[in-house]
């Protein structure tokens, strides 16, 4: 049985493994990455923006800096948020650099476990399995000129397609199956990185401390979701009460608020 990669504890256990990071970067970007050091909850010693931010998983080699982030709840500013995180990791390289040229190439990987709510500028819904942002130069013909090399990628298992390249699909399926089908996951164990993750997050291989912390995180997140849902219901009840006072029928109120007919009728008794 797999641990849930939507859980911070499980996610960090999987992606702080150096071999896993090496395989992940190779599959996503086609480059070799051999990390010297891997950290979690990474903060820079000097603030380089007005925002105090930290990275879930932060790893470096002599020539590369890799960041892996999990995003469980989607907000319409997530793309902007992680672009800032990505750019700050680039800007921080200048802190000790004698030249403007960055000493390392920065690769940022954002694993989204919820559906996107952000939309394109024209209002079109974003429903993509893999999204790229390349910090590079392009000529008039669209040909990329590899000067900077920094790359940001968003992965979202909700939008896997038949045409999704296998290297990406392996990791997307791993996340999806750990959440939706942990007891019998359909994942590609021929992918060495995916296989290693499956071994690391196998529930039987978690330490008692990891299991406890994982359950505590899950309980906290469940409680937060319950409070949020309760608050939303109360807000809808206020709207329903106003609609009742306006003389609207129960079916209209139910469609508008999402409340049940029984909940609406109970409001009339109060």
Q: Do 195 and 104 share a structural domain?
A: yes
Show the tokens assigned to 169.
Answer: 């699909």
CB 14 within 8 A of CB 201: yes
pLDDT digits (tens, 9 = 90+) for 86-123: 999 998 887 766 666 777 999 999 999 999 988 898 88
Show the tokens assigned to 22.
Answer: 């090496």
pLDDT digits (tens, 9 = 90+) for 11-36: 999 999 999 999 999 999 999 999 99
Q: How far are the Cα atoms of 5, 65, 122, 186 from residue 157, in angstroms, in the given order?
A: 12, 24, 24, 13
From CA 227, how far away is CA 104, in angstroms rounded? 43
Tokens 């403007």 -> residue: 100
Q: Do 153 and 109 share a structural domain?
A: yes
How many domains is the chain built from?
2
- The range of the structural domain enclosing residue 252 comes to 223-269
pLDDT digits (tens, 9 = 90+) for 72-87: 767 777 899 899 999 9
212 lies in a domain?
A: no
Q: How far are the Cα atoms of 23, 50, 183, 203, 219 from residue 215, in angstroms, in the given order?
A: 28, 34, 17, 12, 6
157 lies in a domain?
A: yes
pLDDT at residue 186 greater than cutoff 80: yes
pLDDT digits (tens, 9 = 90+) for 125-178: 999 999 999 988 999 998 999 889 999 999 999 999 999 999 999 999 999 999
CB 138 within 8 A of CB 145: yes
Which one of 181, 206, 231 terminates a domain? 206
pLDDT digits (tens, 9 = 90+) for 224-248: 455 556 677 788 888 888 888 888 8
Q: Do 78 and 25 share a structural domain?
A: yes
E strand spans, the chain: 37-42, 55-60, 64-71, 105-112, 130-138, 144-156
pLDDT digits (tens, 9 = 90+) for 58-73: 999 999 999 999 987 6
131 lies in a domain?
A: yes
Q: Do 151 and 48 share a structural domain?
A: yes
């Amino acid at each position: 049985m797999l641990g849930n990669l939507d859980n911070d504890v499980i996610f960090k256990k999987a992606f702080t493994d150096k071999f896993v990071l090496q395989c992940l970067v190779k599959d996503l970007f086609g480059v070799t990455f051999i990390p010297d050091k891997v950290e979690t909850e990474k903060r820079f010693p000097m603030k380089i923006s007005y925002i105090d931010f930290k990275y879930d998983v932060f790893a470096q080699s002599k020539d590369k800096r890799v960041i892996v982030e999990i995003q469980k709840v989607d907000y319409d500013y997530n793309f902007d948020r992680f672009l800032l995180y990505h750019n700050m990791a680039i800007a921080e390289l200048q802190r000790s650099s004698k030249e403007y040229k960055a000493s390392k190439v920065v690769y940022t990987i954002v694993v989204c476990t919820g559906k996107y709510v952000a939309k394109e500028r024209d209002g079109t819904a974003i429903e993509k399995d893999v999204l790229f942002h390349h910090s590079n130069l392009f000529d008039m013909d669209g040909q990329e000129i590899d000067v900077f090399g920094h790359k940001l990628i968003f992965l979202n298992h909700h939008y896997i397609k038949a045409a999704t390249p296998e290297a990406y699909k392996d990791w997307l399926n791993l996340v999806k199956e750990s959440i939706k089908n942990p007891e019998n996951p359909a994942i590609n164990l021929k992918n060495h990185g995916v296989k290693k993750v499956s071994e690391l997050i196998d529930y039987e291989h978690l330490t008692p401390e990891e299991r406890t912390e994982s359950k505590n995180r899950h309980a906290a997140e469940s409680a937060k979701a319950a409070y949020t849902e309760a608050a939303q219901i109360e807000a809808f009840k206020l709207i329903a009460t106003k609609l009742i006072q306006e003389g609207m029928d129960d079916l209209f109120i139910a469609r508008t608020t999402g409340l049940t007919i029984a909940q609406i009728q109970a409001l009339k008794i109060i």
